């Protein structure tokens, strides 16, 4: 499954494309940011971000788009721009009939590190480890987008069982199943998921499912 992760931001919108195979092995395809000029009016800045996202979709042809679910923060001005960019990413997915997933920051942290309270440095370090990179993707917005894509690749399919030997049965879209070994981060998440089945993630292939 090819996933485009979008970390919404009006000045810098992080984008990351990741391929996740049947064994839940993740491979980085590309990572980067789309920028907008702070000196432009807001609607022209949004247009620049939209064009950038559209170009990435056309170039990499993801099967799913995963966007960070935006929550209210103290800085109302910042959260407004972030929400607007998230809406643009959602619209871009709709235009192409692509499945959409919304994941909270805590869900992303839990999926990648095994803890929903991990800090940014821990998430970035695990992203580098999962993708077998020498260092985390830069800038930080781009690393967050990659983490979103990884999160959906692992959470958007569903672990059916976790054996004592570490072997897992993975249910993929279309009902395909595969058994394989988990990385330490995947194992930590699988154990947490087994203890609390409700993940809160959006199933992009089921209309109205939350």
Active-site residue identified among 7, 50, 107, 144 = 7
Active-site residue identified among 50, 107, 141, 144 = 141
* Among 20, 18, 22, 1, residue whose Cα is nearest residue 170: 22
> Is 7 a residue of the active site?
yes
Rounded to 5°, the CA angle 163-169-170 comes to: 140
Beta strands 2-7; 12-20: pairing state: antiparallel
Phi, psi of 39 (to 5 degrees): -80, -10
39 Cβ partners below 8 Å, 6+ apart?
Answer: none
Cα separation, 51 vs 49, in Å, equals 5
Q: How many CA atoms lie within 13 A of 90 on its CB side?
A: 14
H-helix segments, 98-179: 105-113, 120-130, 140-155
Active-site residue identified among 54, 55, 63, 68 = 68
CB atoms within 10 A of CB 131: 18
> Is 141 a residue of the active site?
yes
Sign of CA dihedral 111, 117, 120, 121: negative
Write out the catalytic residue numbers.
Answer: 7, 68, 141
């Amino acid at each position: 499954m090819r996933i485009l992760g979008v970390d919404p931001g009006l000045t810098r919108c992080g984008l990351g494309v990741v391929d996740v195979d049947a064994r839940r092995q993740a491979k980085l395809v590309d990572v980067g940011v789309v920028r907008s000029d702070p000196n432009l009016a807001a609607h022209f800045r949004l247009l620049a971000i939209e064009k950038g996202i559209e170009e990435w979709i056309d170039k990499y042809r993801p099967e799913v788009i995963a966007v960070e679910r935006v929550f209210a923060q103290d800085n109302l001005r910042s959260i407004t721009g972030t929400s607007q960019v998230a809406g643009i990413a959602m619209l871009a997915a709709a235009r192409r009939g692509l499945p959409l997933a919304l994941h909270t920051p805590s869900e992303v942290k839990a999926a990648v590190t095994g803890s929903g309270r991990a800090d940014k440095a821990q998430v970035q370090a695990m992203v580098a480890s999962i993708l077998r990179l020498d260092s985390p993707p830069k800038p930080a917005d781009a690393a967050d987008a990659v983490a979103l894509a990884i999160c959906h690749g692992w959470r958007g399919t569903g672990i059916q069982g976790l054996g004592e030997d570490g072997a897992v049965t993975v249910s993929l879209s279309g009902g395909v199943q595969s058994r394989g070994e988990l990385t330490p981060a995947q194992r930590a998440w699988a154990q947490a998921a087994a203890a609390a089945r409700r993940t809160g993630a959006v199933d992009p292939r089921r209309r109205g499912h939350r």
